[in-house]
Structure 1
Amino acid sequence: MNAKTTLFAFLLTMPLALLAADDVKKTTQVELPRQDKPSLIRSVEPSPLPTAPTTDQTTAAKLVYGLLSDSRYAYRPRALDDVLSADMYKRYLESLDGGKQFFTAQDIAKFDAYKTKLDDAIKSGDLAPGYAIFATYKQRVDQRVGYARNLLKQDLFDFTGNDSYEYDREDAPWAADNAALDTLWKQSVRNDWLRLKLAGKKPEDIRKTLDKRYANMGKSIAELKGEDVFQTFVNSYANAIDPHTDYFTPKSADNFNMSMSLSLEGIGAVLQKQDDVVAIREIVPGGPAGNSGKLKPGDRVVGVGQGDSGTMEDVIGWRIDDVVAKIRGAKGTKVRLDVIPAEAGLDSQPSRIVLVRDKVRLEDQAAKSKTLTIPGVGDAPAKRIGVIELPGFYQDFEGRRKNANDYASATRDVAKLLTKLRADKVDGVVLDLRNNGGGSLTEAIELTGLFIDRGPVVQVRESGGRVSVEGDSDTGIAWEGPLAVLINRGSASASEIFAGAIQDYGRGLVIGETSFGKGTVQNLVDLDRWPANEEARFGQVKLTIAQFFRVSGGSTQNKGVVPDIAYPVSVDASEYGESTYDNALPWTKISAVPHTRYGNFAPLLPKLETLHTARIASDKEFGWWSDDVAQFREERAKKSISLNEAERRAQRDREDAKRKQRQEARKTLGLDLDPLADDYSDDGLAANERDIAKDAEREKLADKRPDPLLRESAAILADAVRLLNADRQLSAQVLPTATTAGHWAD
């Protein structure tokens, strides 16, 4: 089945868990005695799922209610009544079975008794309804898994008919009964089989692969703990307040904070669950794991021990987050790992590796730069455009509070890259914020300050209506030259604050697609602050506390940032973005605040559009991307796929031929080859079924694929520089304060 449609499928599809460290102090490797070798051929009996919350969870639920119902904290508090209870009920069912693949209409009819009682459950901390619904969910998953595995023993795999598999059931009605679900699952299993058959797998291998896949689905649900159910149920309440309010258990809160800081303490590895074993997917450069030279992608961790003499715990069959918790630890402490090499069989004797944990910065998620050369036009010389890719507005909040010299900061990293690009004498800079979902509001403000000389950046309106203006107070500009900001539908929140400010100031061009449309501000509230607990017990809440507005007065909420030069829409606003949430805040506007207008690009835009349109008409890569986007949108609209083998094979052959033709065209035209062109056919496998080392390498190769959107953005910026250099009258019209704002024109 399509696991993405269920919330708890995160255990099926969450292949990555980050551990960390900077450098290794000491490593050793010894062989385990033969009698200590763990057995891999066994089943792990999970602990029974609690049927009621713990005392701490009961308290946490009440604290969440007190927080979200109080206008002193929540920007838009909602009364927790029967109306909100019904909304919670709907969201809880969606989180469990969004694809309507497990519950029947008969189940839903029974659950309806809880529809107006969930508000009382939160207020009292008696969450029995949530656990009762989940208990049925677990039973239904077990039934579906058993049914799917049994189908593999039958002869159901003739693909000469005209039937199809309906994979998108979000808006479909609940299946009437188990017989209706059987029909849905039969088509799902047949689709899984056909995908593997088209990839060249033999029937016995297909049967083995799918049987293991469905069994692992059941195991993943069986591994769920009470805290998982509790977090999901409480989030049905939090998410009913607004789309960006969430509850985190203590463990989830730690992971969220680590992702924001880009720095963790541990061994420096990325782990992935594969069947019953946790394997190493990637080694983080500079960490103990990498410096030891003893670990590599694909190696399996079967045992973990603490310090020099702590008990070695057999971690086979454990959840990946539990294994991560054992390996992760404070800087300077030791951890012992029993490891089976990637090339060895699972019954091989493990080696023992001792590492000293340290702090590591996750550089692959930090800002990075490169330079593109844009060919000259006529007598105009080529232009060198610097590109800065910024995946997120990260900040190590704890490091900043401690005034550390090396705390992670998006602004500090970008400033260093700008210094380097200035030294390289680039003619302009493109800041790539595609798929940058945001992060720290402070970083968005300070990053804007690198390109303007003091002034307001964003307006923040609190729940009571008070509006404050946040801005850059530091004099000086890190980059005065030509600037463009590249965005897409995945650019959200802090990305929109930055892009909107650059646009309002006339400081640079905004290029790409209309952004996500998230115009709200969130803050983390530690629920342990009131009881003043010495250790985390109750978790944290990320709640919406304010709405932000551009200095021009408009909000990015729902509408997003509209680019000056637009690319074809890759994802429709009805499918992705703030506008898809049924309880998102509406767009609104407040008064503008005075700010410098460095430039007005309106007179320049028609000329840039003309040059852009002419260039992409002959740009093969850009054209191919546009064609692929159109095809993707067409396929997505179908919501089902044929189960006729001849039809599917013909489609697959067409796609393979198209890739080969494009690769040949790249060779003929002297374009960069696509490193994944020969490895793009559907292999029919799930993420945890592939060779880990090869899959990780393929992921790295994806970063080297031709990027026509980035190159075209650099070309547009180069066009702007040439036009302004060649036409002094136009330059004076577009950049009336160029001497103050930056040297767009020589």
Structure 2
Amino acid sequence: MKNFLPILLLLAFRLAAQDGTKTCEKLQRIISVVNREHYSPKPIDDSLSVYVFDTFTDQLDTYRNLITGNEYKHLSAYRLKLDDMIRTGDCSFLDQFASVYRNALERKIALLEKIRNQPLDYNVKDSLRFSRKHFPFDLVESDQERIWKKRLRVEIFEEMSSMTSNLDSLKANFTAIEKIASNKIFESELCKTNSILNDRNGLTANLQSQFLDIFCQYFDPHSNYFTMDAKSSFMSTLSTSNFSLGIDFDFNEKQEVVVADVVPGGPAARSHEFERDDVIISVADADGRGYTLSCASLDAVGELLFSDNNKQVSFTIRKKNGSLHEVTLRKQLMEATGNDVYGFVIEKGIKAGYIKVPNFYSDFDGSEGNGCAADVASEVERLKKDNIDGLIIDLQENGGGSMEEAVKMTGLFIDKGPVTVLSDNRGKQHLMKDDMRGNIYNGPIIILTDGSSASASELFTAALQDYKRAVIIGAPTSGKASMQTLVPLDYSQSDYIKLTIEKFYRVNGKSHQGVGVIPDVAMPVLFDSLVQRESSFETALRNDSIRVRQGYDKWQTQWDASLVQQARQRVKSNADLQEIGSLNQQINSWYRKQKAPLPVTLDAIFADVHENDLLFDRIKKKALTETKLVVKNSTIESGAIASDAFLKEINEYRMKDARQNVYIDEALNMLSDYRHVHKR
């Protein structure tokens, strides 16, 4: 027995050494691929070391209540050494991070269990400080219990406040509500922490993946490391399940699972309870077997949500205003129609064709039908049968997709010529162009954009703007002008990096990288300033221009400058758009203001939680307000939709969405002005 302990210690040391060796091997392969293929590789130096160290430690302890000042001081010895250690094949630093992080998590659990077994004193005078800058790592271990007690009081008060908008009722039932809220907060914190410690992949393996991903993001925000893990399987199962809840899920910047979209005609849409960006707090099946998403494995959650064996799922969701809703949905058999191009005939004095392009999807293997460009072409042909006076192409919230589809779609509306110029890390240019003479539509075109219109959306929009083929209205686009490819790190294909290999430029040689495509007619969009555009990323590629030798012929019948100016003046006096601008000012004022210290009392925190209830009610009301537009199906599609109950319900949902779109309303005004001028 005496000889057994040294053997265990030696085994643990060897395992740790093996983990460090594997990490360094992966890093060396990443460095090799980056140096060979990345559009703008950077040297492995102190700048990388500082970025990776600061980002890594910040992600490990965002709120500065886990790692003590002494522990951070110990780790900070690596802040300027990571580059040197990686070059020499020494990745033992990861074991040090794992050791410190594990101790901090175990210390947190012990503290929470201790605090839970004694009543919290809600009469302690304390305050909560706010800062837009990160707080320093100055936690003192002897003070950690006091700090956690304060945080728990805050979280419990916030949870209680989110349960009701009636403060008097909350105070009258304080004991009962506090018990419910307290149990929920303690369970959530303990569950979240235990899930990190006891993840099936192991703490060190997860930290390795996190570190490698941050390492890749140093080169640009769209280069990433990932494995074929639970996260990818969780997101992919949505498209393969026969029975569906009618919800598209995604992850927000806090890695919380959120509603990305509500599929028209599905159970979620029928409930009228789900909205985009709602946070999914917990899920449960019909037997009550459930998970809190903040601490459950994504494999388990994915099985519950997407398995056809679970026909009923109950949700707890958190709305934008902080309120919690309980909703139960029953799955139904649904067709995969959420990403398809669709169109309408919209009337307001004139008749316009409207085409919504959710993303630039592609039929990569030729087995699933048409890609986005072919579907747009078919929709245009259907709309032309109704003698439309102009075409509106809606790229709002279109995050991109296939560049090839964007080039093909551009070719539908220009005669022929260059569409975009690609440039790699050797400065080699590749011209992507439309070689087919002719186009499928000769009339005026308006494109709708917002801050979420990105990548392939921007390529298409920029090309039609440069050719003077379309007028762009809405908000500036995201500003992403780079292309990525997926590269396996080894023959087993268990590790990949998504790597930025090229930048794409407009046909005039300019780039929208970091600045976006600027609309010809700017219009306020709700929450526009809070949209995460390319310029908000610390490691985003810089904006530049290149010399392009190939010329291009602009469209013959261009939008008259006076029509654009007329639209700008009309936007300024539009009551609906003025209200959106006013709401944005209030949103920005609330978001940007430096909050004063908040007393840790029920009254103060209740007021803070409900501070913007009226504002969010106004925002929701404005978003749901319908215009007076007449939205119809094309003559060709009307019969098919009327005979299919499922398509009919989806169609009604989409029609309502179009009627609520004030940007379509202004597009109709512009097309009316255009027809008036060109029919003189």
TM-score band by shorter chain is 0.7 to 0.9
The code of the aligned residue for 1:638 comes to: K
Match of 1:216 in 2: 191
Structure 1 residue 90: Cα displacement: 2.0
Please state how far the C-alpha of 1:394 moved relative to its aligned partner. 2.8
Q: Residue 503 of structure 2 corresponds to which residue in structure 1?
A: 547
State whether structure 2 residue 66 is matched by structure 1 residue 102: yes
CA distance in 1, matches of 2:187, 2:371: 43
How far has the Cα of 1:254 moved from its partner? 5.7
1:237 equivalenced with 2:230 (yes/no): no
State the Cα deviation string for residues 505-537 of structure 1 (Å, max 9, x = none): 111111122222222221111223xx4x4xx33
Q: Does 1:90 align with 2:54?
A: yes
What SS class does the counterpart of residue 594 from structure 1 fall into?
Answer: coil
Q: Residue 151 and residue 423 in structure 1: after superposition, are their counterparts in 2 closer, same or farther (change >3 A)?
A: farther
Alignment correspondent of 1:481:
443
Whether contact under 8 Å (1:370, 1:387) holds in the other structure is yes
1:576 corresponds to: 532
Report matched runs for 1:289-368 at 5 Å. 299=285, 319-321=297-299, 324=302, 337=309, 362-368=336-342
Distance (Å, rounded) in 1 between the aligned partners of 2:235 and 2:617: 44
Contact kept in structure 2, 1:522 and 1:544, CA below 8 Å: yes
**Are the counterparts in 2 of residues 510 and 563 from structure 1 also a CA contact under 8 Å?**
yes
Equivalent residues of 1:394, 1:408 under 8 A apart = no
Distance 1:419 1:727, change over 3 A: closer
Q: What does residue 155 of structure 1 align with?
A: 120
Matched, 1:441 2:403: yes
Q: What secondary structure is seen at the aligned counterpart in 2 of 1:517? A: coil
Counterpart Cα distance in 1 of 2:98 and 2:77: 15
Q: In 1, are the aligned partners of 2:416 and 2:437 still within 8 Å (CA)?
A: yes
Distance in 1 of aligned mates of 2:226 and 2:133: 26
Shift of the 112–664 alpha-carbon distance from structure 1 to 2, 3 Å rule, reads closer
Alignment equivalent of 1:60, drawn from 26, 37, 41: 26
Distance in 1 (alpha carbons) for counterparts of 2:592 and 2:153 = 22
Give TM-score scaled by structure 2 length.
0.72
Offset at residue 563 of structure 1 (A):
1.0
In the alignment, the residues of structure 2 paired with residue 470 and residue 272 of structure 1 have an alpha-carbon distance, to the nearest angstrom, of 34
Q: Which residue of 2 aligns with 1:493?
A: 455
| Deviation of the 1:203 alpha carbon | 1.5
Q: Is the 8 A contact 1:517 1:577 kept in 2?
A: yes
Q: Is the 8 A contact 1:452 1:507 kept in 2?
A: yes
Q: CA deviation at 1:84?
A: 2.3
| Distance (whole Å) between structure 2 residues aligned to residue 540 and residue 504 of structure 1 | 37
Task: Report the alpha carbon displacement of residue 557 of structure 1 after superposing the two structures with TM.
Answer: 1.2
Q: 1:233 to 1:407 in 2, by over 3 A?
A: farther
Deviation, 1:222, is 2.4
Is 1:393 equivalent to 2:393 in the alignment?
Answer: no
CA contact (8 A) 1:385 1:430 kept: yes
Further displaced range: 649-658 or 200-209? 649-658
Provide the secondary structure at the position in 1 that maps to 2:19: coil
Distance between the aligned counterparts of 2:623 and 2:456, measured in 1?
A: 37
Give % identity.
Answer: 23
2:586 maps to 1:635: no
Task: Tell me the amino acid that sits aligned with residue 215 of structure 1.
Answer: L
TM-score (norm 1): 0.66
Q: Distance in 2 between matches of 1:56 and 1:572?
A: 43
| Alpha-carbon distance in 2 for matches of 1:707, 1:648 | 39
1:247 is aligned to 2:225: yes
- Give the equivalent residue in structure 2 for 1:711: 661
Indicate how the Cα distance of structure 1 residues 209 and 637 shifts in structure 2: closer, same or farther if over 3 A, else same.
Answer: same
Counterpart in the other structure of 1:608? 567
Q: How many residues get paired?
A: 583
Contact 2:425 2:502 in 1 (8 A): yes
Q: Which amino acid letter does the alignment assign opposite residue 712 of structure 1? A: V
Q: How far apart, in 2, do the equivalents of 1:82 and 1:660 lie?
A: 49
User: Which letter maps to 1:566?
Assistant: A
Give the 5 Å matches for 1:23-42.
Answer: none
Query: What is the one-letter code of the residue matched to 1:451?
Result: F
Q: Structure 1 residue 500: deviation in Å?
A: 0.9
Structure 1 residue 553: Cα displacement = 1.4
Distance 1:572 1:541 in 2: 31
SS in structure 2 of the partner of residue 363 of structure 1 = coil
In structure 2, the partner of 1:696 is: none
Note if contact 2:627-2:665 (Cα within 8 Å) is conserved in structure 1.
no
Contact residue 263 and residue 361 of structure 1 kept, 8 A:
no
Q: Shift in Å at residue 212 of structure 1?
A: 1.9
State the distance in 1 between where 2:147 and 2:347 align: 53
For residues 425 and 567 of structure 2, the distance between their equivalents in structure 1, rounded to whole angstroms, comes to 42
- Distance in 1, Cα, partners of 2:623 & 2:477: 31
Match of 1:604, SS state, is helix
Match of 2:483 in 1: 521
Deviations 1:397-448 (A, max 9, x none): 3x2xxx32x2463323333333343345444333332333222221221222
State the Cα RMSD in Å: 4.7
1:241 match: secondary structure: coil
1:662-707 deviation per Cα after TM superposition (whole angstroms, max 9, x unaligned): 999999x9879xxxxxxxxxxxxxxxxxxxxxxxxxxx99999878
Which amino acid counterpart does residue 572 of structure 2 have in structure 1? T
Shift, 1:722, TM fit: 1.9
Name the SS for the 1:135 alignment partner: helix
Question: Could you tell me which amino acid in structure 1 is paired with residue 154 of structure 2?
Answer: N
Do 1:100 and 1:169's aligned partners in 2 also have CA atoms closer than 8 Å? no
Q: Letter of the 2:96 partner, please give it.
A: A
Equivalent of 2:38 in 70, 74, 86: 74
After the TM superposition, which residues 408-447 of structure 1 pair with which residues of structure 2 at under 5 Å, given as runs? Answer: 409-447=371-409
> Is the 8 Å Cα contact of residues 61 and 125 (structure 1) preserved in structure 2?
no
Structure 1 spans left out of the alignment, 5+ residues:
1-49, 288-296, 304-316, 329-334, 344-354, 375-380, 673-699, 729-744
- Alpha-carbon spacing, 1:544–1:716, altered in 2? closer, same or farther (3 Å): same
- 2:107 is the counterpart of 1:132: no
Whether 1:505 and 2:463 are equivalent positions in the alignment is: no
Secondary structure of the 1:485 match is: strand
- How far did residue 245 of structure 1 move? 1.2
Find the residue that maps to 1:543 and give its secondary structure: strand
Tell me by how many angstroms 1:580 deviates: 2.4
Q: Any conservation in 2 of the 1:301–1:337 contact (CA below 8 Å)?
A: no
Indicate the SS of the match to 2:502. Answer: strand
2:428 pairs with one of 437, 458, 466: 466
Counterpart of 1:177 (choices 115, 130, 140) is 140
Secondary structure at 1:727 match in 2: helix
Using the TM superposition, give the Cα deviation of residue 127 of structure 1 relative to its aligned residue in structure 2, in angstroms: 3.4
Q: Is the 8 A contact 2:626 2:661 kept in 1?
A: no
Matched, 1:594 2:569: no
Structure 2 CA distance for partners of 1:98 and 1:210, relative to 1, 3 Å = closer
